[in-house]
Structure 1
């Protein structure tokens, strides 16, 4: 075969290869689509008050969803409200997520009240299960918590006597306006009912799932997670400001459980637990300083104190309350090391009680110190102070047990005696003594005083 013939054959084969896709022979790759992995939907459940642990949980869930390239992250929400700082952190994380985030108020009977309303409005698609409700997002005057209704309409800016606005009312107005601006902005971002959102903040409005759907506060009402994923499929939502079309029908569902650090933070961020840890830490260190070398109480106390301070730092603290607690602990420490017969100790106890009562600046029960916790820690401190004062009083009244004062008035037995001096036996020791000239060995004498290293007896 000459070179010209080979060239013709090669050219013919090349043209045939180029025509194969058009002839339908490329359909051998078609089954690959059938074997493609189904969409991935990650689910994180929020149950309870919104706090630092919740913010950490959602932040971690979003990071995991982005790392794994999930098609959607579903936040199942059932909450009475939460801290405004944590809520804003969560809203910022959701808005900055590259993965679409869906908010699903679940289960039936659950609610997304207060802070939960802001979180649902921040998500790209909002849904509710039948029998749930959303709203009541009015911020409180103090405490940084969306959740407690403000003054009745028409009373803003008036004090109890109808005079000029008070500082507290001015702060309430600023807080409300700030909350309204946030939720209206979220509503406009995702095309939801901004008027109802404003009413939920200003008037404390709350609606059920069906009404929320009719008002345009949410996009979907879904009876189950599977129903939600099927209804979401094909919808266009915003993720980090970019439109994304959801592909969630038949998605593979994986639930994200909170990690150890999140669980630990959830435990210690309870104000009562944080407060008890701090108290254990303080008393452990006091015991270590009063009994150097024991190590155990000091190490345990230092760990508990650091954990307690870290947890309290995550909460909205009243600085006056914190200062009163520190003053109280210092005064009780002074009582332990420099007895003042209770003056410093009980003064510190009073400061401690007042400080504990106003320590956490929140009007929501989940983030307030329980009066039982305050009462029990105060009672324990009072018992310790009474013990210290009683012990100090007994020590002050106890006869001297060592030194020259202890020997004064004690009885001694004469061992040797001559010309008004000799040796006596007292407390198992042999002492040089002087006294009357006519003392006989084995006679009993009383010690009058100590002159240098010589006892004066009679």
Structure 2
């Protein structure tokens, strides 16, 4: 299963390849539905392992916000996709009727039926047995293939695509949305922790972005992550660094998703490695510079804090109210050039007004408006 545009690009690359391409639905228990069926039919040699399935190619439209799937029933679209499937099948001398029916009727076939009806060329239990089957066989078109001392190279998707698969997993999306909603409610319901609700909003936004391609999702996460870091630093870590940590995680995920990955050189069909590396190095330089700026801010804030709040209370110091604090209520004040302290107001104070520290109650400062 997959995006139609991506499948069409893969099919085009396979059909224009100067070397034979083998498609193998493997191991047992696997499937190649929808776009996977189209890709399999486009290969020079198609094979399936026992216990696998292909078919179910009716196109669906996915809402990028809700993730809801809606089957497309418009004849214009169905006829166009069906005709393309049939052309791909006929190009490889395969069963065009199946190509038509799997689009209109979601027909499915197991390996034995697929071989019987001319959809695939071989049924094999594993890669070695498949290569043995191919060796000396004449495929439709009159070409005889020989497999002599093959060197098998296994290639796995890069870490960026592995992370992408995790993020687009419906279970992970539901989990992020649920945790995000909970944090947002708590964050905005509890006074002084309203910025922490931003973490919840970010978690709810991520599932909405997973309809984007891997690179665009990476860029979106990178931007959101850097914005979250900047907001928390500017706010003086009033979220207890929760927004900062979330931003760091999103920034790292964004960089991972944006990291260019390459196939072995012999497999490359078309790629501009120079351009890809320039993009990567620019991103690293930008994030490195921004990270250095944030680190300097964090270090400056840490250095301004006293080594022990309990040993060094700012009695009689003048500060600024961070919140509107009514009499006998708790809020935050900023004293000594930027330190944030919990404070209890002995008289009403307004946000931004000057206050004087007159005492300490446990770990909370006692303040009143400065004369």
So what's the TM-score if we normalise by structure 2?
A: 0.49
Structure with greater Cα Rg: 1
